[in-house]
Amino acid sequence: MPESPTRPFEITLSLPVRTYDIDMLRIVHNRVYVRWLEDLRSQVLAEYLPLQPLLEAGISPLLLKTSIEYKRPVRLFDPLVGHMWMSALGRARYTLQAEFRVLGQLMAAAEQTGCFVELATGRPVPVPKQVRDQW
């Protein structure tokens, strides 16, 4: 996949830490990061490739892989900010990178690989032209 030197499709979201996000040690539970990744990915779609027209065209994004590297614990009341951008784009696959930061300090980094599929068949399709044009 060709790499881009910038951060195309970049979005930033404030992510409040809720009381139900923490575990017995009063740090954010690992499963919460997956939800935050979905929040970030949904925002990327909302800003750059709205989901409704995509679904009306019979195409849906699909996640193939998620990996998260936890650097430091996030705690209740931390002013967490999530960043996500597309780091690679191939003919049929794309890669999203994400960072979770508190006051600029990297708390966790993540990578997601995805593709687009035809809803009727579930088979992969080429990355939509709209994405390629914006890339």
Give the CATH number of the domain where residue 118 resides.
3.10.129.10
Q: Name the domain count of the chain.
A: 1
Full-model pTM: 0.89
DSSP state of 91: S
pLDDT by position in tens, the chain (length 135)? 444 458 999 999 999 999 999 999 999 999 999 999 999 999 999 999 999 999 999 999 999 999 999 999 999 999 999 999 999 999 999 999 999 999 999 999 999 999 999 999 999 999 988 888 888
Tokens of 130: 């709209």
Residue 6 falls within a domain, yes or no?
Answer: no
Residue 5 falls within a domain, yes or no?
Answer: no
Q: Please count the other Cβ atoms lying within 10 Å of the Cβ belonging to residue 40.
A: 24
Q: Calculate ∠ Cα 17-18-22, nearest 5°.
A: 85
